């Protein structure tokens, strides 16, 4: 009987874990447009929803020609790394750490991200590191490049799922089809419970690898969600290998490795192959799409003390969206997304980053 109860409890735990959505929609809405966008979005995909609420409830951000909104944004701009620059928000009940994907839905204020949304991202950036993140921005008419750079500043370690979606007063009524098409363009996986991409950076070059799903890779991904791992590896005729700095659960089996394979050896060493070997390892994954000779060059075959960084972001997947179009490399854009051919002194967006001339 005791056994039966234990089995039922275990089944219930499993069921409740599996019903958690893989995607969290985080939004702030002052006048209701972002709330409508979230309602439309959640009618199309299964998500959990978290509304961010300012601690001070009766504030009129638009009063006196938007003076308060401006004041809050200026305080952030003056000291963006200081927690006290951000307006207080209510405590939240859901943690981004529990989700694979996060979609931010935010209003634009003065061509920047609304101050209240900025508070949430500032406070939760470390828990969002390594997550797959998308963003929808609602404005009256201004372009959203300033909001995109705020997002990139606040969340430097996330993987952007694609370009941000801009919804404005003239297309808000059309949001159902805009959102549906946007989701199709995203690298969006709402089904799998595991993250299957890891990035390997050696000497400034980054390559993606596809991870297999086992206990070791889940532990590795959990560690990488906190921070990238840097290891020093050495050549061993068919691989580069060395200590990972942590032990992972082994599921060793005899295998014939081939070029690109990544395995765990003896529970706490990582081996990346540019040729083959036969041994008992726990498989972790494989580097995507490189030939054997490309792998030898990338892995610095034959060298010693090779610095290898493992991470969940490629570092090159910035969101680059201005008025729905890609920014041209090197060109200057105003904060509301207009291309500027001969910029004078001022603040511009260049290559997705804010620059001051």
Q: Applying CB under 6 A, does 188 fall inside the site for ligand FMN?
A: no
Which residue in the set 23, 33, 149, 157 belongs to the binding site for ligand FMN (CB under 6 A)?
33
* Buried/exposed 139-160: b ≥16 CB within 10 Å, e otherwise: beebbbbbbbbbbbbbbebbbb
Q: Report in angstroms how near the CB of residue 169 gets to ligand FMN at its nearest.
A: 7
Distance from the Cα of residue 232 to its chain's centroid: 26
DSSP three-state, residue 159: strand
Piece in contact with ligand FMN (CB under 6 A), picked from 29-37, 93-101, 261-269, 346-354: 29-37
How far is Cα 210 from Cα 140, in angstroms, rounded to an integer?
Answer: 41
Q: Report in angstroms how near the CB of residue 83 gets to ligand FMN at its nearest.
A: 21
Which residue in the set 69, 162, 228, 337 belongs to the binding site for ligand FMN (CB under 6 A)?
69
Which residue in the set 142, 145, 207, 334 belongs to the binding site for ligand FMN (CB under 6 A)?
142
Do residues 195 and 217 make contact, with C-beta atoms less than 8 angstroms apart? no
Q: Report in angstroms how near the CB of residue 116 gets to ligand FMN at its nearest.
A: 9
DSSP three-state, residue 309: strand
Which residue in the set 47, 124, 139, 159 belongs to the binding site for ligand FMN (CB under 6 A)?
139
Piece in contact with ligand FMN (CB under 6 A), picked from 85-93, 103-111, 147-155, 299-307: 103-111
How far is Cα 103 from Cα 96, in angstroms, rounded to an integer?
Answer: 10
Q: Applying CB under 6 A, does 65 fall inside the site for ligand FMN?
A: no
Which two three-digit tokens encode residue 305? 């003390």
Q: Which residue is nearest to ligand FMN (CB)?
A: 69
Q: Applying CB under 6 A, does 108 fall inside the site for ligand FMN?
A: yes
Q: Applying CB under 6 A, does 238 fall inside the site for ligand FMN?
A: no
Q: Applying CB under 6 A, does 312 fall inside the site for ligand FMN?
A: no
How far is Cα 346 from Cα 340, in angstroms, rounded to an integer?
Answer: 11
Strands (E), the chain: 23-27, 48-51, 101-109, 112-113, 132-138, 159-160, 165-167, 197-202, 205-211, 229-235, 239-243, 253-257, 261-265, 269-273, 277-287, 306-311, 332-333, 339-340, 347-350, 353-356
Q: Report in angstroms how near the CB of residue 67 gets to ligand FMN at its nearest.
A: 9
Positions in the binding site for ligand FMN (CB under 6 A): 29-34, 61-62, 66, 69, 107-111, 138-142
């Amino acid at each position: 009987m005791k056994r039966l109860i234990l089995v039922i409890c275990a089944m219930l735990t499993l069921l409740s874990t599996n019903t958690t959505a893989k995607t969290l929609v985080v939004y702030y809405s002052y006048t209701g447009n972002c709330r409508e966008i979230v309602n439309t979005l959640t009618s199309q995909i299964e998500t959990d929803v978290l509304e961010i609420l300012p601690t001070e409830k009766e504030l009129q951000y638009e009063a006196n020609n938007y003076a308060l909104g401006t004041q809050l944004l200026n305080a952030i701009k003056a000291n963006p790394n200081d927690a006290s620059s951000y307006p207080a928000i209510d405590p939240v009940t859901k943690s981004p750490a529990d989700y694979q994907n996060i979609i931010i839905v935010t209003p634009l204020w003065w061509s920047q991200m609304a101050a209240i949304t900025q508070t949430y991202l500032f406070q939760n950036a470390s828990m969002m590191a390594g997550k797959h993140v998308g963003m929808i921005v609602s404005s009256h008419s201004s372009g959203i490049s300033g909001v995109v750079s705020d997002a990139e500043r606040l969340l430097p370690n996330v993987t952007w799922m694609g370009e941000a979606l801009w919804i404005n007063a003239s297309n808000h009524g059309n949001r159902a089809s805009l959102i549906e098409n946007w989701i199709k363009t995203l690298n969006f996986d709402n089904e799998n419970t595991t993250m299957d991409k890891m990035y390997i950076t050696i000497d400034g070059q980054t390559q993606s690898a596809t991870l297999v799903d086992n206990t070791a890779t889940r532990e590795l991904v959990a560690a990488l969600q906190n921070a990238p791992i840097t290891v020093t590896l050495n050549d061993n005729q068919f691989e580069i290998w060395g200590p990972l700095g942590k032990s992972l659960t082994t599921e060793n089996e005899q295998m014939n490795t081939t070029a690109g394979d990544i395995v765990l050896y003896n529970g706490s060493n990582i081996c990346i192959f540019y040729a083959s070997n036969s041994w008992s390892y726990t498989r972790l994954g494989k580097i995507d799409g490189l030939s054997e000779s490309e792998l030898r060059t990338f892995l610095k075959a034959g060298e010693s003390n090779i610095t290898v960084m493992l991470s969940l972001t490629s570092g090159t997947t910035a969101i680059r969206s201005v008025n729905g179009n890609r920014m041209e490399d090197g060109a200057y854009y105003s904060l509301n997304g207009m291309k500027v051919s001969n910029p004078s002194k001022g603040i511009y967006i260049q290559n997705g980053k804010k620059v001051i001339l």
